[in-house]
Chains A and B, each alone.
Chain A
Amino acid sequence: MNFPDNLKYTKDHEWVRVEGNIAFIGITDFAQKELGDIVYVDINTIGEQVEKEAVFVTVEAVKTVSDLFMPIAGTVLEANSKIDSNPEVVNNDPYGEGWMIKAELTNPSDVDGLIDVQAYKALIGQ
């Protein structure tokens, strides 16, 4: 499994890529493997200000459904339109084409609460 070291992670198996006060958010390689074939990513928070830990996306795999919790407080600016028609890109390219949302940070200091790649790998026993 692949875990880029330029990303921040959460214990809920999300990754966050921070560019200034903008954050791109997706799920990790570990998460997509656990979920299995993803068939629908339900995002209905576009334009909304979402609290930290609030549900911002629901991921439907063939076998299971899983809520994702906002790793940082932010306003959802954009959802990745590519995963609407091709949800399997989340399985195939979780850190690239499979990103889920782009959000504007409400509190830039939230980033300090995220974990780095070593801590994430330790968490999942890699």
Chain B
Amino acid sequence: METASQLKHTALSEKHISLGAKMVPFAGYLMPVSYSGLNDEHHAVRNAAGIFDVSHMGEFKISGAGALDLIQRVTSNDASKLTEGKVQYSCLPNDKDGIVDDLLVYQIKADEYLLVVNASNIEKDWNWISKFNSDGVKMENVSDDVSLLAVQGPKALTILQSLTEVDLSLIPYYTFKIGKFSGIDNVIISNTGYTGAGGFELYFPNEAANKLWDDILKAGNTEGLKPAGLGCRDTLRLEMGFCLYGNDINDSTSPLEAGLGWITKFTKKFTNSENLLQQKEKGLTRKLVGFEMIERGIPRHDYPIVDASGNTIGVVTSGTQSPTLNRAIGMGYVKTEFSALHSEIFVVIRDKPIKARVAKIPFLNK
């Protein structure tokens, strides 16, 4: 555990504190977990818009000859499908059937890519990718220079459009444009996010962070925009069934078990691809599923999952009371025979098995 003085700050830490945010250590950073209240922020994002400072996320630039080749070797998705202005969700498999990290791959232009990784894994990912960089491809860790704001929710486009000439309606999901935003040049305006509520993520130099934060909050004032913290980021992503590294995926869960087969492309070779292909052909012994509680109780990370006779069949990886659905939901690994939709399972909460059933992901019907 870090002491407060060892924690890194984002360019916006003072803003959060002055807004009365509850600040917590997260991945080595002092981050806002909530401002007006988790549920209030959650509903703001689903119904209007929320602005998240997620500048703790890591960014690596990979460029020049061999850039694509390096990315193809270390990631599971097929980056050759990317074209300029496109984004891809992917993961870095390790050589032990696990996952080093999940990430976004941006193709900035031909031979220039931006990898966006989890804050807790910046060093681990850097070392891992470097190990495979036998051809001396240019790699830059720009994590400490880049700020990232996620503006999410049905009103996000209207709010952000008032600050830029770039036509945001012409940026489809998982694509981006680089342009002038609120007077700042070369902002990456990306139609991505971790909430399922729609909206954009903006990447720009730290120096512009305070200006852009203030400008966006002001522009969103009449639209119900609220500052939103990591607390509701977690409930929002869980309602969508999005994996969180460290909870639902880690060094010992395979991308196939985690339901990430759709970003695991065996049409190319990558780290551990042969073993993963074998795993796929042999069949999986466990799978990550979504579930909803039938009896009263809130599932939490690491709670055991048992069958009707009390035999352990899995473990909870994420759980919460869904603010939108107003019921308890979770994700966890279960033995494959219990992974079918509507299978009855039990979550052990304070030594008692509480009934649940396997549910469709995303939990939220749009």
B107 interfacial contact with A, CB 8 Å: no
Chain B, residue nearest A38 (CB): B321
| Residue of B whose beta carbon sits closest to that of A63 | B231
* B320 CB contacts on chain A under 8 angstroms: 62-63
- SS class, residues of chain B in contact with chain A: mixed
Query: Given A37-B39, A60-B321, are A65 and B298 also a contact pair (CB < 8 Å)?
Result: yes
Bound form: Cα–Cα A36–B320 in Å: 13
Q: Are A63 and B234 interface neighbours, CB within 8 A?
A: yes
Interface size class of B (residues with CB under 8 A): 10 to 19
Question: Do B38 and A36 touch across chains, with their CB atoms under 8 A apart?
Answer: yes
How far does the Cβ of A81 sit from chain B's closest Cβ, in whole Å?
Answer: 14
Task: Tell me the minimal C-beta distance from A85 to chain B in angstroms.
Answer: 11
Partner of A62, one of B296, B321, B350: B321
Residues 331-366 of chain B, each 1 if its beta carbon lies under 8 Å from chain A, else 0: 000000000000000000010000000000000000
For residues 72 through 96 of chain A, which have their beta carbon under 8 Å from a beta carbon of chain B?
A: none
Instruction: Find chain B residues with CB under 8 A from A30 CB.
Output: none
Given contacts A36-B231, A39-B321, A40-B321, contact A63 B296 (CB under 8 A): no
Asked whether, in the complex, the Cβ of B297 is within 8 Å of the Cβ of A37, the reply is no
Interchain CB contact (< 8 A) of B350 among A37, A39, A58, A63: A58
Q: How far is the CA of A37 from the CA of B235 in the complex (A)?
A: 12
Which residues of B in the span 283-316 have a Cβ within 8 Å of any Cβ on A?
Answer: 296-298, 300
Give the residues in chain B near A63, CB-CB below 8 Å: 33, 38, 231, 234, 320
Which residue of chain B has the shortest Cβ distance to A37 in the bound complex? B39
Question: CB distance B38 to A60 under 8 Å?
Answer: no
> Looking at chain A, what size class is its interface with the partner chain?
10 to 19
Q: Does A97 contact B (CB under 8 A)?
A: no
Q: Mark B25-58, 1 if CB is under 8 A from A, else 0.
A: 0000000011001110000000000000000000
Given A36-B37, A37-B37, is A65 in contact with B321 using a C-beta cutoff of 8 Å?
no
A36 in contact with B34 (CB, 8 Å) = yes
Asked if B300 and A62 sit within 8 Å, CB to CB, the answer is: no
**Does A42 have its Cβ within 8 Å of any Cβ on chain B?**
yes
Q: Identify A65's interface contact among B34, B39, B300, CB under 8 A.
A: B300
CB distance from A98 to the nearest CB of B (A): 16
Interface-central residue, B39, B297, B298, B323, by most chain A CB under 10 Å? B298
Report yes or no: B39 in contact with A62, Cβ–Cβ below 8 A.
yes
Which residues of A sit under 8 angstroms from B350, Cβ to Cβ? 42, 58
Report chain B residues within 8 Å CB of A36.
34, 37-38, 231
CA distance A62 to B68 in the complex (A): 42
Q: Which residues of B contact A58 (CB under 8 A)?
A: 350
Nearest first, the 7 A-B pairs at minimum CB distance are: A39-B321, A37-B39, A60-B298, A62-B38, A37-B38, A36-B38, A63-B231
Identify 8 new A-B residue pairs, CB closer than 8 A, beyond the known A39-B298, A62-B320.
A36-B34, A36-B37, A36-B231, A37-B37, A40-B298, A42-B350, A62-B38, A63-B38
